Chains A and B, each alone.
Chain A
Amino acid sequence: MNGGHDLGGVDGIGPVVVEENEPVFHSEWEKAAFAMFSMPFRAGFFGVDEFRFGIEQMHPADYLSSRYYEHWVHTVEHHGKRTGKLDLDEVERRTQHFLEHPDEPLPEKKDPELLAFVDAAVKHGVPAARPTDDPPRFAVGDRVRVIDDSPLGHTRKARYVRGKTGEIVLAHGTMIYPDSAGNGDGEDPKHVYTVKFDARHVWGEDGDPNASLYFDVWEPYLEKAQA
Chain B
Amino acid sequence: MTDTSTTSPLPLSLHQRSEAEIAARVKAIESIMIEKGIMTTEAIDRLAEIYETEVGPQLGAKVVAKAWSDPEFKARLVANATDACAELGIGGLQGEDMVVVEDTDTVHNVIVCTLCSCYPWPVLGLPPNWYKYPAYRSSIVRAPRRVLREDFGYDVPDTVEIRVWDSSSEMRYWVLPLRPAGTEGMDEEALAALVTRDSMIGTGPPASP
Contacts and interface: CB of A to CB of B under 8 A. Distances in A.
Interface in A82-138: 85-87, 90-99, 102, 106-111, 114-115, 117-119, 121-129
A161 B24 CA distance: 40
A128 B167 CA distance: 14
A125 B172 CA distance: 13
B1 interface: no
A163 B101 CA distance: 26
B52 A36 contact: no
A187 interface: no
Interface string A60-85: 01101111101001001100100001
Contact of A216 (B12, B130, B145, B169): B169
B141 A55 contact: no
Interface residues of B, number: 89
B53 to A, nearest CB: 9
Interface in B125-153: 125-126, 128-130, 132-139, 141-145, 147, 150-152
A111 B143 CA distance: 49
A172 B97 contact: yes
A64 B166 CA distance: 19
Contacts of A7: 114-115, 134, 137-138
Contact of B170 (A119, A124, A175): A175
Given A15-B150, A67-B22, A114-B39, A214 B164 contact: yes
B181 interface: no
Interface residues of A, number: 105
Interface string B19-51: 111111111111111111111111111111011
Given A98-B24, A156-B115, A211-B162, A36 B169 contact: no
A211 B145 CA distance: 8
A185 interface: no
A227 interface: no
Contacts of A124: 92-93
23 contacts: A8-B137, A8-B142, A8-B166, A13-B134, A16-B135, A16-B151, A18-B128, A27-B19, A29-B22, A94-B27, A94-B28, A106-B41, A111-B42, A115-B40, A115-B46, A121-B92, A122-B93, A172-B97, A176-B170, A211-B145, A213-B164, A214-B164, A216-B167
Interface of B: 12, 14, 16-17, 19-48, 50-52, 55-56, 91-97, 99, 114-117, 122, 125-126, 128-130, 132-139, 141-145, 147, 150-152, 158-171, 173
